[in-house]
Structure 1
């Protein structure tokens, strides 16, 4: 209601995420992001080795990791809205086991994408084998039929996609008005097979004959009848967005009709996201370290770049309720604040992190951060101070 205070953009809870998730209301979040331990066998700011938890060897290590992550996935599913989605970062060590676990918890039919994320464009040069330059992002819907995630982004629309320039300075590209899918034809869509009139000299298109116009009917490349993508009423409404052209094809010259697809249509434009996200688009581990260093110093070895989270946030409504229950250095909360500043959105983020001790001798420990949660809290406080939006610190 008008006059009511808006919630803080960011909230933080210190505690074991499984315990904290149990206290949250069902269906109270629209997007969950998880960046769990990858089970690499390395220790950075926190333990990332499940070897000793259940048995010895690779099989026991994987089983221990799955026993750790699966209850947390189930808890996340409980707090996701029916229209919500979850994204989990992982690398080659556990991606196969994670996908099977997520299939069990969310359902194989709710997999939206397995994205390859190019966070290390130079590739890891240490060790044997290939120079790994990527990890993964597994994205699942709570219910794919109801999910509001829009797998597109305005930021991926580039000027080079629209190489033509209209007289008024607007950029556009030409798209065939003919439907190129052969499932749509005069038998399956009879109302979309009709005659248009066009002048390839002036480019004008109309539903009725006019001086200089020739009749144009939609056909496939082999000459069989096709249908238009637009109905008669839509052609009448947007005739100025159509263009008649003389084209040369395998069967010789023909007159055809094209849509002028504008770079900046009313309502804005978005482009479908590919399943490979490049560091030049979303940032890298190096840029993430630099982002964090600017706020707190070099206190976390492998943070995620805010650009990765900004891209995820861009697939959801601008008032999305976001959950990060492996908050690490606090990238998600930082990204929420940046997104809200950029577009005036009302996103909120609950970050959860444990009091896992930082490794003795690590940059974090030397900087005075006794546990990983101290890093998260410090970053979110700095974000609130520098970017606004506030920070609510809750008890677990």
Structure 2
């Protein structure tokens, strides 16, 4: 066991290590468990399938994962979330297993991650270019995960510029969702007053103002998105304009939606993450090679984990129970160095032997845990230096 500034590394089977961690002490789990390729698992426990077929391998994988997911759930805080990478071989089984352990109500997302944009060219069939991220909350009602990011905001969506140089766009103050109407939200159906020449808007009449009611495009009554008090608090963020309606010109009220307001803007993350946004297997190999050599075949890119980290507070306690090459710890150190965060990461890895004749073995790494340890030490040196 060795301590780093941002990282704690523990060598051992995660089924033995996880119960030693304090229950509810972890805010975020990201992990990349072993995929079911038909080979034996390093984490086989005592389970053995009576047959060697595909169904037996699925059962073996599920029985390997079930107690470990339960142990992960125990250490996860009520406000926390877990992200798991997986490919098509076990995606369906993992989804059912996560529903069992965490509960269907705590499912947050199934994200498609484009880690291999060129697609796998070996073998027959389709050129697979993606994997998945399953996202679950410990308790969806209390989870603090923010599924948005400043990195996905497109400045071109804000084409207007104010006199003081700020970019913005116009959004209808009217609620465009027809589920919200004078019947379902009666307190938001009221008249406001606006002058389409000056743009001024108020909840009370003034010289030159016309009365404006919220209506849908077809003329049916609608409701505003803002209450009277909010309109009174932020009149400078509203503008009255004449527009071309279906029945001819009419006056309506719009919100000035600023590109930057109150320290920054975020946009909801989609459930497809492209390699140009989060990195690819190729960039992940290059990251690891720059630190300790080409010693791991399919690491995850730090950009993927950094996007995950950005959904949680910057002081999150992070856990990776299948640490592999150490990508999670690396990403935590980079994120802290970038934004001044105080995230702490615990990485767990078993002493699984490296494959004889592999790049890792030829480089002197006897176990995968040796790779994790070496990478985290190299990250510490590179950031400190």
For the criterion TM > 0.5, the same-fold answer is: yes
1:204 aligns with 2:188: no
> Which residue number corresponds to residue 249 of structure 1?
245
> Which residue number corresponds to residue 122 of structure 1?
118
1:67 aligns with 2:63: yes
Which of 247, 259, 262 pairs up with 2:258? 262
Q: CA deviation at 1:49?
A: 10
Instruction: Provide the C-alpha distance between the structure 1 equivalents of 2:124 and 2:43, rounded to a whole number of angstroms.
Output: 20
RMSD: 2.0
C-alpha distance 296-163 of structure 1, shift in aligned 2 (>3 A): same
1:273 aligns with 2:266: no
Tell me the secondary structure at the aligned position of residue 172 of structure 1: strand
Instruction: Provide the C-alpha distance between the structure 1 equivalents of 2:37 and 2:122, rounded to a whole number of angstroms.
Output: 14
Alignment of 1:1-396 (within 5 A): 8-41=5-38, 53-54=48-49, 55-388=51-384
The answer to whether the 8 Å contact 1:7/1:348 transfers is no
C-alpha distance 42-162 of structure 1, shift in aligned 2 (>3 A): farther
The answer to whether the 8 Å contact 1:40/1:49 transfers is no
The answer to whether the 8 Å contact 2:13/2:43 transfers is no
The answer to whether the 8 Å contact 1:41/1:48 transfers is no
- 1:270-299 CA-to-partner distances (Å, cap 9, x unmatched) read 111100001011000011111111111111
Instruction: Provide the C-alpha distance between the structure 1 equivalents of 2:291 and 2:263, rounded to a whole number of angstroms.
Output: 36
- 1:240-291 CA-to-partner distances (Å, cap 9, x unmatched) read 1111111113222211111011011014211111000010110000111111
The answer to whether the 8 Å contact 2:195/2:210 transfers is yes
Runs of 4+ in 1 over 6 A off after TM superposition: none
Give the TM-score of the pair, scaled to structure 2.
Answer: 0.95
Stretch deviating more after TM superposition (62-71 or 197-206): 197-206
Aligned length: 381
Q: CA deviation at 1:81?
A: 0.6
Instruction: Provide the C-alpha distance between the structure 1 equivalents of 2:340 and 2:39, rounded to a whole number of angstroms.
Output: 40
Gaps (5+ residues) in structure 2? none
Tell me the secondary structure at the aligned position of residue 155 of structure 1: helix
Bigger RCO (CA 8 Å, 6+ sep): 1
Q: CA deviation at 1:47?
A: 5.8
The answer to whether the 8 Å contact 2:4/2:377 transfers is no
- 1:304-345 CA-to-partner distances (Å, cap 9, x unmatched) read 001110111111111110000100111101111111111111
- 1:25-61 CA-to-partner distances (Å, cap 9, x unmatched) read 1111011112011112369xx86999x9422110101
Gaps (5+ residues) in structure 1? 1-5, 390-396
Tell me the secondary structure at the aligned position of residue 243 of structure 2: strand
The answer to whether the 8 Å contact 2:38/2:57 transfers is no
C-alpha distance 49-276 of structure 1, shift in aligned 2 (>3 A): farther
Give the TM-score of the pair, scaled to structure 1.
Answer: 0.92
The answer to whether the 8 Å contact 1:41/1:49 transfers is no
The answer to whether the 8 Å contact 1:337/1:388 transfers is no
Stretch deviating more after TM superposition (173-182 or 58-67): 173-182
Stretch deviating more after TM superposition (163-172 or 52-61): 52-61
